[in-house]
Structure 1
Amino acid sequence: MAQDLFNGQIDPANVPLAERLRPRSLDEVVGQSHLLGPDKPLRVAFSSGRPHSLIFWGPPGIGKTTLARLMADSFDAQFISMSAVLGGVKDIRDAVVAAQAAQARGRRTILFVDEVHRFNKAQQDAFLPYVESGLFTFIGATTENPSFEVNSALLSRARVYVLMPLTQEELAQLIERALATLNGDAPDGGIKFDDASKLQLAAWADGDARRVINAVEVVSDAARGAGRTEVDAAWLETALSQNLRRFDKGGDAFYDQISALHKSVRGSNPDASLYWLCRMLDGGADPRYLARRIVRMAIEDIGLADPRALDIALTGTEVYERLGSPEGELALAEAVVYLACAAKSNAVYNAYNQAKAYAQQHGSAPVPIHLRNAPTKLMKQLGHGKAYRYAHDEPEAYAAGETYMPDGMGTPRWYHPTPRGLESKIGQKLEFLRGLDKQAREKKD
């Protein structure tokens, strides 16, 4: 029986189910077969006898802490755990002192830092000398991309292992384990879950092992309190307060999903575009943020191939502002489908970036005299606006051969219309006007 600081012992029945089910060996771990299978990287690392610093990157509830504990057990090392959410420099110093004491006794130390991305640069740097000296083996856990959230110096000294969400089949294994543990000592046989409720629970957990185990415990307790001996899908739905998919509004899951939505629209796949839109709405994304991104897609990926796309995107945004959720979300869906089906062009997007770079590189070139405004007598005397040709007075309403760039910069061509949608006609028009320019230059020569 476990020890308690005040009462001496802890009743196992009071230990959270997730802790009671925590694997005691690698063979008990469910999931992560790409790392723990025969001859896979982590399996090899465990059997090597030589621990190395590493970072576990993956969503919550998939075993990062468990694997760190198992590594300490495997190497008979002292295990020190700290959370970057609650910890600080003092905790790091205390860990160093404990590691030095263990080293004096001839024992290794594994320092586990949960949510290491929460530590700032100075705090992360504090680990470096001790990692390099071998005082302890560093294991960090993060839900965020280490490339952006972990200092490059620390990242270079640790191997990154990407952990994956558990599959439905793996979650089903955990549900069976949880029920077996809960019902093991029950004189009445405990609470039974039918097959449909197990499938529903696995889907609800969304790849999170801790979430599914906690849900089994909560639902079982609720069923027992309601005098039920069996849980079906209908009752499970009422027992679970809400169905929230994994969604971090500021993390990688967020940006991965908006990236998938944008690329699905760009790839002209309306069904995939709708799926990612609904995934994000279901996960709690702010529809106003999605509306802004949809407008961006209309500008960046459709452009002048179909100018109506921008109108529809802006209209969808306005409709959402008027109706709110859930009714206004349909307007966003309509905009996403239209954008996915519209002709695609990034010609304006590319032209803008090239012109922007050109303007930055060439400084503040003066405006040609004939293009300058002349609202005063002095400006007119200085020649501002002199010889300017008013396009509406010219044939075809076009001043053929006229120049509009600063002197000496030539006439760059950044905008290249695509042969798709309205841009095909825009391209024809520009070629016609360039033909007039050529004729004007030949007459002048």
Structure 2
Amino acid sequence: MAAPLAERLRPRSLDELVGQEHLTGQGSILRKAIQQGKIPSMILWGPPGVGKTTIANIIAHTLHVPFYTLSAISAGVKEVREVIEKAKLEPESILFIDEIHRFNKGQQDALLGAVEKGTITLIGATTENPSFEVNAALLSRCLVYVLKPLDETALKKLLTLAIEKDTELSKRKIDLRETGALLNISGGDARKLLNLLEIVTGAVPDNEVLITDAMVMDIAQKRIALYDKSGEQHYDIISAFIKSIRGSDPNAAVYWLARMIEGGEDVKFIARRLVILASEDIGNANANALLLANATFEAVNKIGYPESRIILSQCATYLASSPKSNAAYLAIDGALAAVKQFGDLPVPLHIRNAPTKLMKNLDYGKGYQYSHDYQHNFSAQEYLPDEIKGTAFYNPGKNAREEELRKWLKGLWREKYGY
């Protein structure tokens, strides 16, 4: 079976590379370093499909040095240490780590000493801002090169190269009549562009292929199940995930979670949304939901893929199976609306802070009733400004836990808030 088109066309030299001229063009800093045969440890930061892996492969091919590749999705500290031990016996070894932002602190720390001593030259590839995702000590020992999305000119050049130079496509008569759909769907991602071109041409059995925008859109909608971390699918799928949990369907929730995991979504993005949902859609109906969601965020940040899929699944199914309440969400939005409507209302004198004699002379804190001095640790005094007193922003939800809260509040505030 032939390799995918994107792999068949992968450049083997800087002169064959399309795009990233600011880094690899004539006279550029990275080209000079490669030509001199001495490259620094580096982080290649840019969106998917813009040449990060390709540049790493070109460096290895040009310098003819030992070259090791690890994926942060599947490799751990053990694999990193194994490469470092081999590198000690092979001077000038290069270690390429794809998606280095997925390495947790322990995994990044395992690299630090080897990079610091020059045992290995590290090339890390990341789609995320390395300032946030790579620890400061490791980052300080690397140069960061920023790769840009491929522009229309570069993408069209790739299409022409594929049709004219590829061993498979060049055998056919391909009329690239329109390119708009190919370029729009690819979003500056060379790999996605070439994969789509291969799917479109492969869908036509005839030797002659006429490519139009309508044809591309029709085939793409039928044949491609893409998950684009920066595109419409990203928002549609996270929306489906959240709504499935809100709708108490753990089966749908774990399916949409799997779609995000398979698409390479950032675990911290998923975990952050679970933390928000735990308060927005569950709240006091099950206070443990926020505790578990927060613990999930901390755990996946330490663990990373692939093990974090289990942690995310546990949290998602638990939240989906929990009773629901948006009372806390409605409470703060109601209070914010009151702030916008009434402005900065004065704090009632009796609950103001009075740290100085002057403030006490102005009656700050006068008449305040210390709750613990009263029966049931409660005093029915006023805490809201006069203009909005009696406003019930928090209305406990219709679930077992919040019904207990409602009963308790009703015993305290029946006359004031109507619980």
TM-score by length of 2: 0.56
Larger radius of gyration: 1
Letter in 2 for 1:233: D
Q: Which residue of 2 aligns with 1:216?
A: 197
Q: Which residue of 2 aligns with 1:166?
A: 150
Alignment partner of 1:213: what SS? Answer: helix
Q: Which residue of 2 aligns with 1:180?
A: 164
Q: Does 1:200 align with 2:181?
A: yes
Deviations 1:373-423 (A, max 9, x none): 99x999xxxxx99xx9xx99xxxx9xxxxxxxxxxxxxxxxxxxxxxxxxx
Match of 1:19 among 7, 31, 35: 7
Does the C-alpha gap of structure 1 residues 182 and 33 become closer, same or farther in structure 2, counting only changes over 3 Å? closer
Q: 1:245, 1:283 within 8 Å by CA — same for their partners in 2?
A: no
Q: Which residue of 2 aligns with 1:53?
A: 41
Q: Which residue of 1 aligns with 2:80?
A: 92
Query: Over aligned residues, Cα RMSD in angstroms?
Result: 4.2
TM-superposed deviation, 1:210: 0.5
Deviations 1:236-286 (A, max 9, x none): 2211137889842xxxx59xxxxxxxxxxxxxxxxxxxxxxxx69877563
Give the structure, 1 or 2, with the largest relative contact order (CA under 8 Å, sep 6 or more). Answer: 2
Match of 1:369 among 363, 366, 370: 366
TM-superposed deviation, 1:185: 7.3
Q: Does 1:74 align with 2:62?
A: yes
Q: How many residues align?
A: 275
Aligned ranges for residues 251-290 of structure 1 at < 5 Å?
A: 286=239
Structure 2: how far apart are the matches of 1:94 and 1:221? 41
Structure 2: how far apart are the matches of 1:44 and 1:136? 20
Structure 1: how far apart are the matches of 2:26 and 2:59? 17
Alignment partner of 2:31: what SS? Answer: helix
Deviations 1:154-190 (A, max 9, x none): 001001111111111111111111112346676xx51
Aligned ranges for residues 110-129 of structure 1 at < 5 Å?
A: 110-129=94-113
Structure 2: how far apart are the matches of 1:82 and 1:372? 65
Structure 2: how far apart are the matches of 1:15 and 1:280? 27
TM-superposed deviation, 1:16: 1.9
Deviations 1:285-310 (A, max 9, x none): 63998xxx9xxxxxxxxxxxxxxxxx
Does the C-alpha gap of structure 1 residues 146 and 73 become closer, same or farther in structure 2, counting only changes over 3 Å? same
Does the C-alpha gap of structure 1 residues 284 and 38 become closer, same or farther in structure 2, counting only changes over 3 Å? farther
Does the C-alpha gap of structure 1 residues 164 and 347 become closer, same or farther in structure 2, counting only changes over 3 Å? farther
Q: 2:177, 2:211 within 8 Å by CA — same for their partners in 1?
A: no
Does the C-alpha gap of structure 1 residues 42 and 218 become closer, same or farther in structure 2, counting only changes over 3 Å? same
Structure 2: how far apart are the matches of 1:142 and 1:134? 22
Structure 2: how far apart are the matches of 1:26 and 1:371? 76
Deviations 1:412-437 (A, max 9, x none): xxxxxxxxxxxxxxxxxxxxxxxxxx
Letter in 1 for 2:214: A
Structure 1: how far apart are the matches of 2:17 and 2:105? 33
Q: Which residue of 2 aligns with 1:230?
A: 210
Q: Which residue of 2 aligns with 1:422?
A: none
Structure 2: how far apart are the matches of 1:183 and 1:193? 17
Letter in 1 for 2:219: A
Structure 1: how far apart are the matches of 2:60 and 2:344? 56
Deviations 1:194-250 (A, max 9, x none): 331x232112100100011111111111112x67632222222211137889842xx
Task: Report sequence identity in percent.
Answer: 37
Alignment partner of 2:88: what SS? Answer: helix
Alignment partner of 2:64: what SS? Answer: coil
Letter in 1 for 2:192: R
Q: 1:206, 1:245 within 8 Å by CA — same for their partners in 2?
A: no
Does the C-alpha gap of structure 1 residues 99 and 231 become closer, same or farther in structure 2, counting only changes over 3 Å? same
Structure 1: how far apart are the matches of 2:374 and 2:125? 71
Structure 1 unaligned blocks of 5 or more: 1-12, 255-278, 294-345, 353-358, 379-383, 398-445
Structure 1: how far apart are the matches of 2:105 and 2:193? 35
Does the C-alpha gap of structure 1 residues 283 and 25 become closer, same or farther in structure 2, counting only changes over 3 Å? farther
